[in-house]
């Protein structure tokens, strides 16, 4: 019956819709005029709507960078919200064109879920947050604790591994979204909340008294967070890869949203000129306009600007660059050259 309904529907639609030609993601997005971007259901500093319904955040700004590159308009995005469990399904089913959502690159997601990852926009690791009142100073003291954990995430598996290898027991309180975790944790339904350290900082920043809670020193995993796309569209994959690289290269070269016009007209650095489309034809090779990267920097800024604006030390989230500093500053952010 199910299949019959589907086939009948599909058939009707095939007849109803004229444009059935297979198009690449880039053509789809350009025809639609909007980039469908899979983000989280809401994590402070990473993805959230403001009072006017505009989306903001670190991940959303990368969506906007992608839209600026592809459509020339950073506003032309649609946020498709997803939980840890639904994000890949939504992406693979075509509900989203690209995923920027606190998502860890792993073997099984890359290979098994058939995703393409395109570099790391945030080097993260899994941490633990506990109320100060608990008097715990190390994750090793958490034997027997109840732990709030989001389903469908890498952190769920890391948690099991960590407690197992340390011979400790825990009681998992599984939840779907960050907001639910927050409520449960504050209501005392779990002693500990564990997720990416960035997520912990973001969540902690939304507490009434953030100082009553500490993030324990142990980081128990590597969580390289990055954008993902579906298998099978190399051109689109290249675009997302180089959108991220463009923001990092711009920071390496000192190109900011403030000086990008000046740099484009007067820089002596050939790589900057190539990046901003004043020389060469890299835009055309990607299938984009020559000023694709210029549009990114002009509208959302370079990597450092995106970081500082959304989650940096001067925001309520207050994350230091740490591993996410440029490689020249002792961090890991490193872009292949624009050559």
Ligand X SMILES: N[C@@H](CCC(=O)N[C@@H](CS)C(=O)NCC(=O)O)C(=O)O
- Binding region for ligand X (CB under 6 A): 40-43, 83-84, 102-104, 150, 153-155, 177-178, 195-196, 199, 223, 225
Give the one entry of another protein, ligand X, none that residue 53 binds, where binding means its C-beta sits below a cut-off of 5 to 8 angstroms depending on kind.
another protein
Smallest CA-to-CA distance from 318 within 329, 333, 305, 308 is with 308
Give the one entry of ligand X, another protein, none that residue 154 binds, where binding means its C-beta sits below a cut-off of 5 to 8 angstroms depending on kind.
ligand X
Give the one entry of ligand X, another protein, none that residue 21 binds, where binding means its C-beta sits below a cut-off of 5 to 8 angstroms depending on kind.
another protein
Binding-site member from 26, 44, 225, 273 for another protein (CB under 8 A): 44
**CB count in 10 Å sphere of residue 91:** 24
Smallest CA-to-CA distance from 250 within 292, 303, 286, 299 is with 303
**Contact present, 283 and 292 (Cβ < 8 Å):** yes
122 versus 292: smaller Cβ distance to ligand X:
122
Q: Interface with another protein by CB under 8 A: which range of 201-209, 247-255, 271-279, 297-305?
A: 201-209
**Contact present, 155 and 198 (Cβ < 8 Å):** no
Is 95 near another protein (CB under 8 A)?
Answer: yes
163 versus 338: smaller Cβ distance to ligand X:
163
**Contact present, 131 and 208 (Cβ < 8 Å):** no
Q: Say how far apart CA 127 and CA 219 lie, in whole Å.
A: 5
**Contact present, 66 and 243 (Cβ < 8 Å):** yes
Pairing type for strands 192-196 and 145-150 reads parallel
Binding-site member from 110, 141, 156, 179 for another protein (CB under 8 A): 179
Give the one entry of another protein, ligand X, none that residue 223 binds, where binding means its C-beta sits below a cut-off of 5 to 8 angstroms depending on kind.
ligand X
Q: Say how far apart CA 163 and CA 169 lie, in whole Å.
A: 6
Q: Interface with another protein by CB under 8 A: which range of 2-10, 131-139, 145-153, 276-284?
A: 2-10
Is the torsion defined by CA of 5, 7, 8, 13 positive or negative? positive
Q: Interface with another protein by CB under 8 A: which range of 93-101, 163-171, 237-245, 285-293?
A: 93-101
> Quick one: tokens of 175?
């939840």
Adjacent-strand bridge partners of 172: 147
Q: Kindly calculate the radius of gyration of the chain based on its CA atoms and give it in whole angstroms.
A: 21
- DSSP class of residue 41 equals S
Pairing type for strands 98-99 and 35-40 reads parallel
Residue 62-91 contact track with another protein, rule CB under 8 A, x = bound: ----------------x-xxxx--x--xx-
102 versus 158: smaller Cβ distance to another protein:
102
> Quick one: tokens of 244?
């991220």
81 versus 146: smaller Cβ distance to another protein:
81
SS3 category, 119: coil
Query: Which residues in 140-159 contact another protein (CB under 8 A)?
Result: none
Pairing type for strands 35-40 and 77-82 reads parallel
66 versus 154: smaller Cβ distance to ligand X:
154
**Chain residues that interact with another protein, rule: CB under 8 A:** 1-2, 6-7, 9-10, 13-14, 17, 19-23, 28, 34, 36, 38, 40-53, 56, 78, 80-83, 86, 89-90, 92-95, 177-179, 182-183, 202, 205-208, 315-317
């Amino acid at each position: 019956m199910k299949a019959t309904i589907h086939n009948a529907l599909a058939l009707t639609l095939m007849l109803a819709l004229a444009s059935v030609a297979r198009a690449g993601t880039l053509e789809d997005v350009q025809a639609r005029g909007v980039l469908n971007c899979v983000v989280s259901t809401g994590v402070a500093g990473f993805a959230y709507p403001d009072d006017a319904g505009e989306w903001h955040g670190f991940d959303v700004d990368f969506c906007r960078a992608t839209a600026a590159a592809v459509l020339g308009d950073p506003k032309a995005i649609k946020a498709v919200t997803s939980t840890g469990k639904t994000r890949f399904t939504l992406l693979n089913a075509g509900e989203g064109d690209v995923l920027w959502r606190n998502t860890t690159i792993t073997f099984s997601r890359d290979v098994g879920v058939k995703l393409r990852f395109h570099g790391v926009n945030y080097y993260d690791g899994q941490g633990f947050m506990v109320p100060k009142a608990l008097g715990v100073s190390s994750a090793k003291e958490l034997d027997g604790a109840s732990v709030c954990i989001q389903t469908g995430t890498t952190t769920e598996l890391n948690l099991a591994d960590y407690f197992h290898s340390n011979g400790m027991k825990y009681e998992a309180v599984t939840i779907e979204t960050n907001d639910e975790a927050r409520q449960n944790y504050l209501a005392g339904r779990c002693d500990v909340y564990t997720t990416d350290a960035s997520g912990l900082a973001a969540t902690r920043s939304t507490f009434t008294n953030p100082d009553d809670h500490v993030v324990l020193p142990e980081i128990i995993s590597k969580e390289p967070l990055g954008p993902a796309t579906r298998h099978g569209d190399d051109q689109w994959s290249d675009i997302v890869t180089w959108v991220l690289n463009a923001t990092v290269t711009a920071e390496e070269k000192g190109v900011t949203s403030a000086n990008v016009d000046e740099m484009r007209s007067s820089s002596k650095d050939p790589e900057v000129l190539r990046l901003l489309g004043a020389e060469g034809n890299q835009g055309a090779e990607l299938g984009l306009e020559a000023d694709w990267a210029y549009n990114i920097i002009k509208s959302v800024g370079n990597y450092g600007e995106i970081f500082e604006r959304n989650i940096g030390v001067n925001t309520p989230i207050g994350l230091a660059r740490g591993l996410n500093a440029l490689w020249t500053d002792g961090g890991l952010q490193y872009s292949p050259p624009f050559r």
